[in-house]
């Protein structure tokens, strides 16, 4: 059963309630949600619900009807996010696990690990104990394989996952592995599930070849009931009458599991198809179906693999798959999780001042302690990252999509306030919109980059803009009389708004601010157009999602930082601004240098030169090749043809 506590319930009431339930024979879990605190009571004991409802601190009691209690959406409404070191599995990020089916040698696993990391995947897989159909097949290197996997982890900074097949190996796996995998053959090895659950480490549970979704969730229940809150489900194909593929990948299981359970679910398209050429297409289909990530097999030389070579990707295939996932993710409103590529400068120091609230350039923002930053284990404070607008703004979403470390988004009144706060060391980074695919460049921010020469572009993030009509929790579309939003938000939803000509459209300075306004006003006839994240922040209701006229609506954001702060490995993009000499063909000569150097120009835009009427500056974005010297030589040539030149940033796109 679920016991929802009253908002004013204190520790004494919770303590007495837990004692009562335990005396009755229940195991009790406390879950702190975004809106309420609940106690989950599971077990075979029976009690009259009315006995619980009358206890102090109890708001209501809800019976759990599903046979799986702790894994059910009834028990926990919010999605579970499993943390593995700095990596979070679940929520709005896509996590990719990759590596060979089996660890074969030191050279093989180190090479595979480097390939996995360079492709953009973030967790390394590798089997040390291989349960094979034939007793004569390669069975793995055992503990030696785990040691080599650990060595590869230390060399690359990636957490590792490996399959455990026996209770006898628990201590060994606890020492070497970050995530324990329960394979398809052991999904219903209940004694193993009990012991693994008691370890308290993250577990990936694969669906058995003949298991129903209910069977999978009941197996997860064994892990949860024995104390493990970090359970990840995995769909890897089931046995059907079809013989063309190794298994039949049941992608319909993804939305079904998402509705029934709060646990994250990954997909294994390698075992799901058993055919290398089918893996990438099914991987993309899995992401489109709502999977939280993938676990795929890749081998430096699949043709020489000792296990599952036919379904293992070549390294170049994994790289292409990762690029395709990055292209698909924004359409789904998700981000691909990446390992940080920064130096120690991303870890910040404590700054004292008032916590929380809206900040202007004259205020100091405090940071608390964080568990990790990047892949480093030492304690640090969260990154303080400024954005313009109210909580729930699209800029805040860009922050969560770009930064993997612990972070504290800080709202500011204006873009200029962000720049000032960076220079005054009151925040570590800022995130500003620079270009929209429909409305064009945000010239105000380009001008600010010119006015603040000590601030550089440190990175960029593109997100899809999905607008929602948001109202009060008890409102319906028929109740709406006024709609508030930023002028661009209103303009981008014009087709939808034209269908409701009776509504008054009221411009507001910020989309998320419009949601905060209608929440504060409490008028049922008011609605706002903003992202659904704003509805969540202010506990409002999404009346209709996807009301934008053009679904191909993306905004590009710049991450900005003090000059010299960011140390980015392998940058692939540069932004600079220049003013050409006053002579015929000056701009042509600049572009000719880029063309002859084979530098791909991604953007060219002119802007009036501040303080010089009828003179213009050109903003240029170019891709940086692997040989960075080509870029720098070109820059030196371009400077000879300009009377003003400044690099705005060299960064990773």
Q: DSSP letter at 424? A: T
**Do the strands 541-545 and 468-471 form a parallel or antiparallel pair, or are they unpaired?**
antiparallel
Dist. CA 249–CA 370, nearest whole Å: 39
The answer to whether the beta carbons of residues 314 and 445 sit under 8 Å apart is no
Handedness of CA 228, 291, 188, 129 (dihedral sign): negative
> Tokens in use for 19?
């004692």
8 A C-beta contact, residue 266 and residue 294 = yes
Is residue 65 flagged as an active site residue? no
Compute, in degrees rounded to 10, the torsion defined by CA atoms 391, 396, 401, 402.
-140
CB 482 within 8 A of CB 503: yes
DSSP 562: E
Catalytic residue among 129, 412, 557, 631, which?
557
Shortest CA distance to 84 belongs to which of 113, 127, 124? Answer: 124
d(CA 489, CA 537): 19
Residue among 460, 461, 439 at smallest CA distance from 648: 460
As a residue count, the chain comes to 653
Q: Which of 80, 156, 555, 590 is catalytic?
A: 555
- Pairwise CA distance, residues 586 & 16, whole Å: 80
- Give catalytic status of residue 138 as yes or no: no
Q: How far apart are CA 286 and CA 280, in angstroms?
A: 10
Helix/strand/coil for 518: helix
* CA proximity to 460, closest of 552, 398, 416, 418: 398
Q: Bin 237: left if φ > 0, else alpha if -120 < ψ < 50, else beta.
A: left
CB 465 within 8 A of CB 555: yes
Residue ranges with strand state E in 547-589 = 554-562, 573-580
* Catalytic sites, residue numbers: 555, 557
């Amino acid at each position: 059963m679920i016991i929802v506590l009253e908002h004013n319930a204190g520790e004494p009431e919770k303590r007495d309630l837990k004692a009562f339930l335990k005396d009755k024979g229940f195991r009790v879990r406390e879950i702190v949600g975004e809106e309420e605190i609940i106690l989950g009571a599971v077990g075979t004991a029976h009690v009259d619900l009315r006995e619980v409802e009358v206890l102090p601190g109890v708001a209501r009691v809800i019976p759990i009807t599903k046979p799986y209690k702790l894994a059910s959406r009834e028990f926990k409404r919010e999605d579970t996010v499993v943390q593995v070191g700095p990596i979070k599995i679940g929520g709005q990020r896509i996590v990719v696990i990759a590596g060979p089916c089996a660890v074969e040698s030191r050279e093989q696993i180190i090479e595979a690990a480097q390939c996995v990391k360079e492709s953009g995947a973030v967790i390394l897989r590798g089997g040390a104990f291989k349960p094979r159909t034939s007793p004569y097949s390669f069975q793995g290197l055992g503990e030696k394989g785990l040691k080599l996997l650990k060595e590869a982890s230390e060399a690359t900074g990636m957490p590792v996952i490996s399959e455990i097949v026996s209770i006898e190996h628990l201590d060994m796996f606890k020492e070497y592995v970050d995530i324990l995998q329960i394979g398809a053959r052991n999904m219903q090895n209940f004694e193993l599930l009990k012991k693994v659950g008691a370890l308290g480490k993250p577990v990936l549970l694969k669906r058995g070849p003949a298991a129903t979704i209910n069977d999978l969730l009941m197996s997860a229940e064994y892990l949860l009931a024995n104390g493990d809150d970090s359970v990840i489900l995995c769909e890897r194909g089931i046995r059907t009458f079809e013989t063309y593929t190794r298994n039949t990948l049941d992608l319909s299981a993804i939305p079904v599991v998402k509705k029934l359970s709060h646990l994250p679910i990954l997909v294994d398209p390698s075992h799901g198809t058993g055919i290398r050429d089918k893996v990438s297409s099914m991987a993309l289909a899995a992401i489109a179906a709502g999977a939280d990530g993938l676990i795929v097999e890749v081998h430096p030389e699949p043709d020489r693999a000792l296990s599952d070579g036919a379904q293992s990707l070549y390294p170049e295939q994994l790289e292409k798959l990762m690029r395709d996932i990055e292209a698909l993710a924004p359409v789904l409103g998700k981000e691909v999780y990446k390992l940080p590529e920064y130096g120690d400068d991303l870890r910040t120091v404590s700054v004292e001042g008032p916590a929380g609230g809206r900040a202007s350039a004259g205020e100091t923002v405090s940071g608390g302690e964080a568990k990790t930053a990047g892949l480093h284990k030492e304690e640090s404070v969260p990154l303080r990252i400024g954005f313009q607008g109210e909580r729930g703004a699209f800029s805040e979403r860009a922050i969560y999509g770009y930064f993997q470390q612990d972070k504290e988004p800080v709202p500011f009144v204006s873009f200029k306030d962000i720049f000032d706060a960076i220079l005054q060391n009151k925040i570590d980074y800022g995130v500003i919109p620079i270009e929209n695919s429909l409305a064009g460049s945000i010239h105000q921010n380009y001008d600010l980059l010119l006015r603040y020469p000590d601030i550089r572009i440190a990175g960029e993030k593109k997100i899809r803009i999905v607008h929602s009509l948001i109202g009060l929790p008890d409102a319906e579309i028929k109740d709406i009389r006024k709609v508030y939003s930023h002028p661009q938000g209103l303009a981008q939803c014009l087709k939808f708004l034209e269908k409701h000509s009776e509504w008054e459209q009221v411009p507001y300075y910020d989309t998320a601010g419009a949601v905060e306004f209608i929440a504060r006003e409490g008028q049922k006839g008011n609605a706002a157009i903003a992202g659904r994240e704003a509805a969540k922040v202010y506990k409002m209701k999404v009346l209709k999602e996807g009301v934008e006229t053009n679904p191909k609506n993306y905004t590009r954001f710049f991450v900005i930082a003090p000059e010299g702060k960011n140390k980015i490995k392998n940058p692939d993009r540069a932004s600079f601004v220049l003013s050409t000499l006053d002579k015929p063909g000056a701009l042509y000569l600049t572009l000719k240098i880029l063309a002859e150097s084979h530098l791909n120009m991604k953007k060219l835009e002119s802007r009036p030169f501040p303080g010089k009427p009828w003179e213009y500056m050109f903003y240029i974005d170019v891709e940086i090749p692997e040989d960075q010297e080509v870029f720098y030589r070109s820059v030196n040539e371009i400077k000879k043809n300009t009377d003003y030149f400044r690099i705005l940033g060299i960064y990773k796109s």
